[in-house]
Amino acid sequence: MPDLLAIEGLRAGYGEAVVLPNMSLRLEESQVLALLGRNGTGKTTLINSIVGVTRRFAGTITLGGVDITGFRPDQRARAGMGWVPQERNIFASLTVEENMTAIAQPGPWTVERVYDMFPRLKERRSNYGNQLSGGEQQMLAIGRALTLNPKVLLLDEPTEGLAPIIVEELLKAIGTIARSGGICSIIVEQNAQKLLGLADRVVILERGVIVHDAPSSALKADPAPLERYLGVAGAAAH
């Protein structure tokens, strides 16, 4: 299967600071990648670089065979890059429905399909963004990214600070998105246990460099790398 997303020799950071010295990464269609690492290892910088909001010093990014290296963030979004940042960035003064229709592009992911996945959003379709709870805002951020009908979905700490029941709902939804096909996903997460059952592949970063890249099944069988790089003892046992 050809690569849907291909990053080659990417050197990127902020200002004069280089966070990713030489990043190469490839993802196939429908693949779910868990991006793990301690705080400050470059996970968010990698997501931000794919979206196009960091400074690029070298390297290329290709999406669906199209070189998007020179594209602005809005052009990358239209080319098929769906992004759910940590801050969520939903439009506070628009309703739930307006948030999703404002940037929607034609494709299989319609507003109604998002409502089927998140019935809670349908109940609040007329509520403004700033009237939603944190969990509902996160559902809306994911729903809005999906109505772009992206080729790649980037989720940066999607479960951070949310109640366990909401976390379960979000993880179930991410699984649904993955199984629907056509989209490859990169999920940044602090808690490795949450993602091992969901991801096909796990990449661990340290100082902006990939130090581990393997199927998630391998980490379940042998959690030693989690302990070595993340300080997570027996993560696969849970």
The residue behind tokens 């290296």 is: 69
Range with lowest mean pLDDT among 121-135, 167-181, 203-217, 223-237 = 223-237
pLDDT, position 179: 84
User: What's the structural domain count of the chain?
Assistant: 1
The whole-angstrom separation of Cα 2 and Cα 29 is: 8
Q: What is the pTM of this model?
A: 0.93
Query: Considering only 120-124, 212-216, 220-224, which range has the smallest mean pLDDT?
Result: 220-224
Is the confidence at residue 47, as pLDDT, over 80?
yes
| C-beta separation of 19 from 45 below 8 A | yes
209 contact partners, CB below 8 Å, separation of at least 6: 21, 22, 23, 42
Maximum CA extent, the chain: 48
Helix axes of 134-147 and 164-179: crossing angle, nearest 10 degrees: 10
Domain that holds residue 120: 3-237
CATH number of the domain where residue 230 is located: 3.40.50.300
Q: What is the pLDDT of residues 201-217, one digit of tens each?
A: 999 999 999 999 999 99
Record the tokens describing residue 219, joined without a space: 């980490």
Rounded Cα–Cα distance for residues 171 and 50 (Å) = 23
* Radius of gyration, alpha carbons of the chain: 17
19-46 average pLDDT score? 95
> Residue 198 is which amino acid?
L
- Given a cut of 70, is residue 237 above it in pLDDT? no
Best CA proximity match to 151, nearest among 82, 231, 220, 228: 82
